């Protein structure tokens, strides 16, 4: 008989028993689990189609959303908290494929650099050009004759930037009975609303709410704001501006007028200039508004005096 | 001192005509018209004597910086001077009121016209800012002569000192009346004006009454002798004349507001404004910046003077002063360039000039403040 060794109880801290949730990372789902979910989703989709009396073959995701909203009406404001039936691919987070084999050896030879795809790209490019001057030399490459031979290669690294200025609607250019061109535009900034009429062949007079802009905006900064769109486009003494503005304070009114002037200028200006104006930030409406005052605090950010005891 | 090629030609042509020296016939109408929009230099002796404190404070700073006082010849001043030349001085004096927006150059035009009067040998009674007598007075004494009035000894003695500096050659004038100041002091008949003024400067208590006496004497004597040694023409120049009929910001001892009539200085000045004397002219300018309890948008005579003031001042010749026109703006810009006042390289280019035009809307004072930090 084997002598029984005395058993000694080993006391371990209870924190070790609890699962270390942080170290585990995001919850991992096995591939079989996900496949099972997909099957269940398909079957459920067909059941739902039968319930709603529609054809199971042509039952799209929109129809599913509609039916769920009908069958489970929810009064919750947060759209993401409402009942949802979607394909498991969209619900369960995608997991990156495991990068190493069963023994723990990584597949890619540059895995331990941390940026394996980047360095591998460098290795590819290295034969042709060094990276530090990659961009410059790419451009040089482009400027050389016969660069079309490498076009396919270069296009892999070039991304087409969409010209977003085409998304702006340009106010229509209207004509006075005298034949003078004018355009009308609006602008808003922080609860100040402005509306202006920009007339051509003027001499640079600006009237706001019936008063001269020098009287309406005694502060230099506001007048500079008004000047900026005209200065940028280079049409300083050409227009007469007649505007009305209300609400908020003087800086916000100046900002609203500036936006309105830039929008009105769009109809007098060429396409390339429109893009330049957009990049200069003249056409973007400033989204900043007054932050809400929170309960338990003096203002939006300021807290009450902190007393230690 | 011209900068780049294409612009320098324009600059050279203008710089020859930019400034001209003040000379004896400088106030000849034809010469003035020809030089309209250009600057002329005030001789330093005249500045010291005539305008110890009469010019706008920023202009005084500019004189100190540039080491010369240059005034632009502008249509309102030309108009005033032409009226002064053609007026008939045996009749009651004409009242001229310069009015206009803030910062358009009313005080400067007034000073220009006053310089003309000085060079013609007139006696100048210049109140640089009537608003100073109506607000911020530290001492307000009950009047020694009349019980319901209040004196301002500091302002009165200050004014008398400046009057003495300006009108030195008239101080040996003979006076007519006998004035009693206190039980022991009195000025006899036939004493020169200078002594009267010294009396006011030395004895602060009765300085406001002295001011009243001086004004009265001048009124009586201005139209008196038309030839001989005693002849002189009187120019009464008041800047900020709307202070005389507006409200004050002074309080009496029982904490009620003071009315303008209750102040000796204001009362005497109002008497001066009436045209019951002859042999001179009354030049005035309105001012909103120093005024008490008036909105910023008010600039017309009816708004700033109020009903009472308008009735008192009527009939008057209104002269409107406005912002620079193209030529004047050009001239001012070239003057600053000439004096190397515009340091920023961008301000010397065409775009910079357009920016200046836009930001100041060709208003003289705003342009000056703008260029101050360029």
pLDDT digits (tens, 9 = 90+) for A267-291: 888 888 888 888 888 888 888 888 9
A281: contact with B, CB 8 A cutoff: no
Among B359, B363, B366, beta carbon nearest to A224 = B359
User: Is residue A78 a part of any domain in this protein?
Assistant: yes
What does the pLDDT read at residue B4?
39
- CA–CA min distance B38, chain A (Å): 24
With an 8 Å Cβ cutoff, are B351 and A231 in contact?
yes
Chain A hits for B350, Cβ within 8 Å? none
User: Is residue A302 a part of any domain in this protein?
Assistant: no
Select the residue from B295, B297, B354 to test the A interface by mutation, using most A Cβ atoms within 10 A: B354
User: Is residue A151 a part of any domain in this protein?
Assistant: no
A214: contact with B, CB 8 A cutoff: yes
Reported as a single tens digit per residue, the pLDDT across B57-71 is: 888 888 888 888 888
Same-domain pairing of A181 and A275 = yes
Chain B hits for A227, Cβ within 8 Å? 355, 358-359
What does the pLDDT read at residue A259?
93
**Which CATH number goes with the domain that contains A187?**
3.30.230.10
For A:101-160, CB contacts with B below 8 A are none
Chain A hits for B361, Cβ within 8 Å? 212-214
The count of domains in chain A is: 2
User: Is residue A136 a part of any domain in this protein?
Assistant: no
Same-domain pairing of A275 and A175 = yes
Residue A202: CB atoms within 10 A of its CB come to 16
Among B296, B354, B360, beta carbon nearest to A236 = B354
Reported as a single tens digit per residue, the pLDDT across A141-173 is: 778 777 777 777 777 777 766 666 567 788 888
Reported as a single tens digit per residue, the pLDDT across B29-45 is: 667 777 777 887 888 88
Among A214, A236, A237, beta carbon nearest to B363 = A214
Whole-angstrom distance, CA of residue B274 vs CA of residue B373 = 44
Locate the chain B residue with the closest alpha carbon to A213: B361
Reported as a single tens digit per residue, the pLDDT across B226-277 is: 544 556 788 888 888 888 887 888 877 777 888 888 888 888 888 888 877 8
Question: Which stretches within chain A are classed as H helix?
Answer: 14-17, 21-24, 31-52, 61-71, 88-91, 116-126, 134-143, 151-155, 213-216, 220-233, 250-265, 271-280
CB pairs under 8 A between A and B: 30
Q: B186-187 and B179-180: which strand pairing?
A: antiparallel
Instruction: Give this complex's ipTM.
Output: 0.78
With an 8 Å Cβ cutoff, are B358 and A230 in contact?
yes
Chain A hits for B366, Cβ within 8 Å? 214
Locate the chain B residue with the closest alpha carbon to A216: B297
Mean pLDDT of chain A: 83
What does the pLDDT read at residue A257?
93
For B:75-114, CB contacts with A below 8 A are none
What does the pLDDT read at residue B248?
81
Q: For a pLDDT cut of 90, what percent of chain B falls above it?
A: 0
Contact B282, B296 (CB under 8 A): no
For B:151-210, CB contacts with A below 8 A are none
- CA–CA min distance B324, chain A (Å): 14
Chain B hits for A258, Cβ within 8 Å? none
Locate the chain B residue with the closest alpha carbon to A222: B359
- Given A70, A91, A112, the domain boundary residue is A91
Q: How confident is the model at residue B183 (pLDDT cuts 50, 70, 90)?
A: low
Reported as a single tens digit per residue, the pLDDT across B324-361 is: 888 888 888 888 888 888 888 888 888 888 888 888 88
- Given A34, A58, A91, the domain boundary residue is A91
Whole-angstrom distance, CA of residue B133 vs CA of residue B156 = 9
Same-domain pairing of A185 and A275 = yes
Contact A107, A117 (CB under 8 A): no
Q: Which of B214, B166, B205, B225 is nearest to B187 (CA)?
A: B214
Locate the chain B residue with the closest alpha carbon to A220: B359
What does the pLDDT read at residue B14?
41
Burial class (CB in 10 A: 0-12, 13-18, 19+), B30: exposed
**Structure token digits, residue B80:** 């005033």
Q: How confident is the model at residue B304 (pLDDT cuts 50, 70, 90)?
A: confident
With an 8 Å Cβ cutoff, are B363 and A211 in contact?
no
A237: contact with B, CB 8 A cutoff: yes
With an 8 Å Cβ cutoff, are B358 and A212 in contact?
no
User: Is residue A250 a part of any domain in this protein?
Assistant: yes
Contact A223, B359 (CB under 8 A): yes
Whole-angstrom distance, CA of residue A11 vs CA of residue A14 = 9
Determine the average pLDDT of the residues in A104-130: 80
In this model, does residue B1 exceed pLDDT 50?
A: no
- Given A61, A91, A121, the domain boundary residue is A91
User: Is residue A211 a part of any domain in this protein?
Assistant: yes
Chain B hits for A216, Cβ within 8 Å? none
Q: For a pLDDT cut of 70, what percent of chain B falls above it?
A: 84
User: Is residue A71 a part of any domain in this protein?
Assistant: yes
Q: At what angle do helices B350-360 and B326-338 cross, to 10 degrees?
A: 120
Q: How confident is the model at residue B15 (pLDDT cuts 50, 70, 90)?
A: very low
Contact B273, B312 (CB under 8 A): yes
Question: Which stretches within chain B are classed as H helix?
Answer: 5-16, 29-34, 44-50, 57-66, 75-86, 106-119, 153-166, 193-202, 207-222, 264-273, 301-313, 326-338, 350-360, 364-372
pTM: 0.69
With an 8 Å Cβ cutoff, are B366 and A214 in contact?
yes
- CA–CA min distance B360, chain A (Å): 7
Among A215, A223, A237, beta carbon nearest to B359 = A223
User: Is residue A266 a part of any domain in this protein?
Assistant: yes
With an 8 Å Cβ cutoff, are A215 and B297 in contact?
yes
Domain enclosing residue A65, as ranges: 26-91
What does the pLDDT read at residue B6?
36
């Amino acid at each position: 008989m084997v002598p029984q060794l005395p058993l000694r109880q080993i006391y371990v801290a209870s924190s070790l028993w609890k699962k270390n949730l942080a170290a585990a990372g995001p919850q991992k789902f096995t591939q079989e689990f996900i496949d099972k979910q997909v099957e269940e989703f398909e079957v459920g989709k067909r059941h739902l189609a039968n319930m709603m009396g529609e054809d199971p073959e042509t039952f799209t995701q929109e129809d599913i959303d509609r039916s769920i909203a009908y069958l489970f009406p929810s009064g919750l404001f947060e759209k993401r908290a409402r009942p949802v039936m979607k394909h498991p691919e969209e619900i369960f987070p995608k997991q990156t494929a495991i990068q190493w084999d069963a023994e723990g050896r990584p597949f890619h030879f540059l895995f331990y650099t941390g940026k394996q795809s980047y360095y591998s790209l460098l290795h590819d490019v290295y034969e042709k050009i060094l990276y530090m001057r990659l961009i410059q030399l790419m451009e040089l490459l482009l400027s050389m004759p016969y660069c079309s031979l490498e076009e396919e290669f270069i296009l892999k690294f070039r991304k087409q930037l969409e010209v977003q200025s085409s998304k702006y609607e340009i106010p229509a250019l209207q004509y006075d009975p005298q034949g003078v061109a004018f355009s009308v535009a609006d602008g808003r900034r922080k609860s100040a609303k402005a509306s202006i009429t920009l007339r051509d062949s003027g001499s640079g007079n600006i009237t706001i709410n019936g008063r001269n802009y020098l009287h309406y905006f005694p502060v230099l900064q506001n007048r500079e704001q008004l000047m900026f769109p005209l200065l940028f486009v280079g049409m300083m003494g050409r227009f007469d501006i007649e505007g009305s503005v209300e609400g908020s304070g003087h800086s916000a009114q100046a900002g609203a007028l500036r936006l309105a002037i830039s929008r009105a200028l769009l109809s007098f200006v060429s396409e390339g200039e429109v893009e330049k104006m957009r990049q200069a930030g003249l056409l973007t409406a400033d989204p900043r508004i007054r932050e809400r005052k929170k309960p338990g605090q003096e203002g939006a950010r300021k807290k009450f005096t902190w007393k230690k005891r | 001192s011209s900068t780049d090629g294409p612009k320098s030609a324009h600059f050279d042509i203008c710089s020859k005509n930019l400034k001209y020296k003040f000379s004896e016939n400088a106030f000849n109408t034809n010469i003035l018209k020809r030089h309209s929009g250009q600057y002329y230099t005030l001789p330093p002796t005249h500045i010291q004597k005539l305008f110890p404190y009469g010019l706008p404070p920023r202009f005084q700073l500019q004189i100190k910086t540039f080491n010369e006082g240059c005034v632009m010849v502008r249509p309102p001043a030309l108009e005033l001077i032409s009226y002064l030349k053609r007026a008939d001085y045996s009749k009651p004096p004409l009242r001229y009121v310069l009015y206009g927006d803030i910062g358009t150059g009313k005080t400067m035009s007034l000073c220009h016209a006053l310089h003309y009067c000085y060079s013609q040998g007139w006696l100048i009674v210049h109140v640089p800012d009537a608003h100073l007598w109506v607000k911020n007075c530290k001492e307000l004494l009950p009047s020694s002569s009349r019980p319901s009035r209040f004196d301002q000894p500091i302002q009165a003695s200050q004014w008398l000192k400046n009057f003495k500096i300006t009108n030195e050659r008239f101080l040996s004038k003979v006076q007519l009346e006998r004035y009693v100041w206190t039980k022991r002091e009195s000025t006899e008949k036939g004493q020169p004006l200078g002594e009267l003024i010294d009396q006011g400067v030395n004895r602060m208590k009765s300085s406001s009454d002295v001011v009243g006496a001086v004004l009265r004497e001048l009124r009586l004597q201005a139209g008196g002798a038309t030839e001989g040694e005693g002849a002189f023409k009187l120019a009464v120049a008041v800047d900020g004349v709307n202070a005389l009929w507006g409200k004050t910001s002074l309080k009496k001892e029982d904490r009620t507001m003071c009315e303008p009539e209750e102040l000796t200085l204001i009362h005497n000045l109002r008497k001066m404004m009436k045209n019951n004397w002859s042999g001179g002219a009354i030049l005035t300018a309105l001012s909103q910046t120093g005024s008490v309890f008036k909105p910023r948008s008010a600039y017309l005579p009816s708004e700033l003077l109020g009903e009472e003031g308008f009735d008192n001042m009527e009939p008057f010749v209104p002269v409107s002063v406005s912002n620079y026109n193209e030529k004047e703006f050009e001239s001012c810009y070239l003057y600053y360039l000439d004096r190397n006042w515009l340091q920023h390289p961008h301000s010397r280019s065409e775009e910079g000039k357009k920016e200046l035009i836009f930001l100041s809307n060709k208003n003289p004072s705003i342009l000056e403040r703008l260029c101050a930090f360029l």
